[in-house]
């Protein structure tokens, strides 16, 4: 039926939902099933959407919002690195200010750069993980494949990845724009302090910090 203009907003919403479900494949039939669930209806209405591989890192991470934002930019290669600036016509030195050897790109900063590799290697040892740092694409694949569960240590590892990326980016900006230089050990201590402070706010993770 046509939604009456004089109907209350509640009635208009209900009738509008009925019309929407009538035009959705299997919409009304799902409502009549004994095993009806809101999630099934939601997926039916939304349609098929492929899962992205990085969702476990971004959507199940208790790192501070500023760290998550930088991680999201890194995953999509949208950081304001010098190579991305040159792509839009901004002239700047592409030399990495962390090591003065490589280029200022996402793939180099995380973790092909000797400075960032040193930091990430020390953080991995602190977590009790005995492996060498790899380039960002491999590290991203590693975390979404190996540390995607809801257990406490898996949540801590995802936080560590995001906080490390954020603090390395902060170190890069401090050197580039303010000439403030920290040692790898100093950056590692900042990572540990931020992780500890974050875990103490989450009862599930208290006591799991190394």
Q: How confident is the model at residue 7 (pLDDT cuts 50, 70, 90)?
A: confident
Q: 192 pLDDT exceeds 70?
A: yes
Q: 12 pLDDT exceeds 80?
A: yes
The tens digit of pLDDT for each residue in 112-149 reads 999 999 999 999 999 999 999 999 999 999 998 888 88
Q: 19 pLDDT exceeds 90?
A: no
Q: How confident is the model at residue 35 (pLDDT cuts 50, 70, 90)?
A: confident
Mean per-residue pLDDT, 56-61: 86
The tens digit of pLDDT for each residue in 59-113 reads 888 999 999 999 999 999 999 999 999 999 998 889 999 999 999 999 999 999 9
Separation of alpha carbons 22 and 17, rounded Å? 8
Q: In sequence order, what are the beta bridge partners of 95?
A: 103
What pLDDT shows up at residue 152? 86
Q: 200 pLDDT exceeds 90?
A: no
Contacts 24+ apart (CB under 8 A), 79-84: 79/106, 79/109, 79/169, 81/105, 81/106, 81/109
Mean per-residue pLDDT, 152-176: 95
Q: How confident is the model at residue 26 (pLDDT cuts 50, 70, 90)?
A: low
Mean per-residue pLDDT, 191-207: 86
């Amino acid at each position: 039926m046509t939604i009456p203009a004089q109907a209350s907003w509640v009635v208009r919403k209900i009738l509008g939902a009925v019309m929407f479900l009538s035009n959705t494949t299997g919409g009304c039939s799902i409502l009549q099933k004994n095993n009806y669930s809101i999630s099934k209806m939601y997926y039916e209405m939304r349609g098929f959407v492929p899962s992205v591989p990085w969702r476990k890192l971004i959507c199940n991470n208790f790192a501070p919002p500023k760290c998550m934002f930088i991680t999201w930019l890194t995953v999509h290669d949208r950081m304001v690195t010098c190579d991305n600036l040159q792509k839009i016509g901004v002239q700047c030195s592409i030399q990495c200010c962390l090591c003065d050897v490589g280029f200022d790109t996402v793939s180099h900063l995380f973790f092909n750069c000797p400075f960032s590799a040193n930091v990430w290697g020390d953080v991995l040892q602190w977590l009790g993980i005995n492996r060498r740092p790899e380039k960002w694409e491999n590290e991203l694949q590693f975390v979404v494949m190996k540390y995607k569960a809801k257990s406490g240590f898996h949540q801590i590892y995802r936080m560590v990845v995001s906080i490390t990326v954020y603090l390395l980016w902060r170190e890069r900006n401090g050197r580039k724009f303010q000439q403030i230089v920290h040692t790898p050990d100093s950056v590692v201590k900042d990572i540990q302090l931020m992780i500890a402070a974050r875990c103490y706010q989450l009862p599930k993770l208290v006591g799991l910090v190394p």
